[in-house]
């Protein structure tokens, strides 16, 4: 949703912006192409994504700053960058396609690889650690709370019985055998929710999102804009509630009463975008 992100950011050519989840630099590139005197700070916790983005965006020279770090620390990183209060910030909460397609990262159930799932390879816990070391009840609770998996107890029981499990495809097969029927799953692979829950847990994604939301407004300039893309309900509900609470407090003006969704053409070109929800706001001038 690059076009929509640019529209809601309302780019000023001399403005200052942050891409809090840089990835390979798609949103950052689009923003930088619309800057002349302005600057952009890109942040990502994955060193591979940082390297890719730097290479892709090097032509923008001093208009670009890149920092390796967690978007939960955006206030601190913004302070270290020396940039003034921001005219806009974007945070895309989705997993990057490059990460998904790299079997060695262990994010995808349809590519054989190690059960890793760490966005930052320095994190201490892998998905294999959770799968093989958790108590059955704790594993079931994790799958239910983070994956919204209604077969969580059945799946946890099957995982414990099949341990040790070290590869993505082995785990996917265990889940597939554990679920009694695919009825009601529609487009979802039976292992989708299990893999989502493990990824969220390994990377502490919901806690990081909460920390980001706590400090996001503090680095915006008056009339500065925040655009956020979420891809599943646990993310979106946190973004929605934060935005609405800030509106009730008179701190922001919502630019999206309902989330913007990708066009049918974008979904056709990139099926992974079908679950994207975009929410945007503008900081009140007197906040």
pLDDT digits (tens, 9 = 90+) for 123-153: 999 999 999 999 999 999 999 999 999 999 9
Whether residues 87 and 212 share a domain: the answer is: yes
Whether residues 137 and 60 share a domain: the answer is: no
pLDDT for res 97? 85
| Neighbouring-strand partners of residue 90 | 19, 227
pTM, whole model, 2 decimals? 0.93
Q: Tell me the C-alpha distance between 216 and 212, whole Å.
A: 6
Q: Tell me the C-alpha distance between 39 and 17, whole Å.
A: 6
Q: Judge contact between 230 and 265, C-beta under 8 A.
A: no
| Segment 198-212, tens digit of pLDDT | 999 999 999 999 999
How many domains in the chain?
Answer: 2
Whether residues 115 and 182 share a domain: the answer is: yes
Q: Judge contact between 149 and 155, C-beta under 8 A.
A: yes
Domain termination site, one of 203, 233, 260: 203
Q: Tell me the C-alpha distance between 246 and 252, whole Å.
A: 6
Residue ranges in the chain whose pLDDT is less than 70: 181-187, 287
- CATH classification at residue 187: 1.10.150.170
- CATH classification at residue 209: 3.40.50.150
Tokens linked to 131: 């799968």
Tokens linked to 79: 């302070």
Q: Judge contact between 2 and 26, C-beta under 8 A.
A: yes
Domain termination site, one of 203, 219, 237: 203
Whether residues 113 and 46 share a domain: the answer is: no
Whether residues 120 and 65 share a domain: the answer is: no
Angle, CA 212 vertex, CA 168 and CA 106 arms, to 5°? 10
pLDDT for res 271? 75
pLDDT for res 52? 95
Whether residues 81 and 212 share a domain: the answer is: yes
- Dihedral through CA 28, CA 34, CA 40, CA 44, nearest 10? 0
145: containing domain: 104-203
Domain termination site, one of 155, 178, 203: 203
Angle, CA 152 vertex, CA 232 and CA 158 arms, to 5°? 130
Q: Tell me the C-alpha distance between 221 and 209, whole Å.
A: 21
């Amino acid at each position: 949703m690059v076009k929509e992100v640019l529209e809601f950011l309302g780019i000023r050519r001399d403005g200052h912006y942050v891409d809090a989840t840089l990835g390979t630099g798609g949103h950052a590139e689009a923003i930088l192409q619309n800057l002349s005197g302005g600057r952009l700070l890109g942040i990502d916790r994955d060193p591979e994504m940082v390297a890719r983005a730097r290479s892709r965006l090097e032509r923008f020279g001093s208009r670009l700053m890149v920092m390796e770090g967690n978007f939960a620390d955006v206030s601190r990183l913004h302070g270290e960058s020396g940039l003034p209060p921001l005219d806009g910030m974007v945070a895309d909460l989705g997993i990057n396609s490059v990460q998904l397609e790299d079997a060695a990262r262990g994010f995808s159930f349809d590519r054989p690889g190690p059960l890793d799932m760490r966005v930052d390879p320095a994190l201490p816990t892998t998905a294999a650690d959770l799968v093989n070391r958790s108590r059955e009840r704790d594993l079931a609770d994790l799958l239910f709370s983070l994956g919204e998996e209604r077969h969580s107890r059945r799946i946890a029981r099957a995982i414990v019985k099949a341990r040790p499990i070290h590869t993505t495809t082995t785990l996917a097969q265990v889940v597939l055998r554990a679920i009694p029927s695919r009825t009601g799953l529609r487009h979802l692979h039976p292992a989708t929710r299990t893999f989502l829950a493990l990824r969220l847990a390994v990377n502490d994604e919901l806690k990081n999102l909460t920390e980001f939301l706590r400090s996001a407004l503090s680095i915006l300039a008056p009339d500065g804009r925040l655009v956020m893309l979420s891809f599943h309900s646990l993310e979106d509900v946190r973004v929605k509630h934060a935005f609405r609470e800030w509106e009730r407090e008179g701190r922001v003006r919502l630019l999206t009463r309902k989330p913007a969704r990708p066009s049918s053409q974008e979904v056709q070109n990139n099926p992974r975008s079908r679950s994207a929800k975009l929410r945007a706001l503008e900081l009140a001038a007197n906040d």
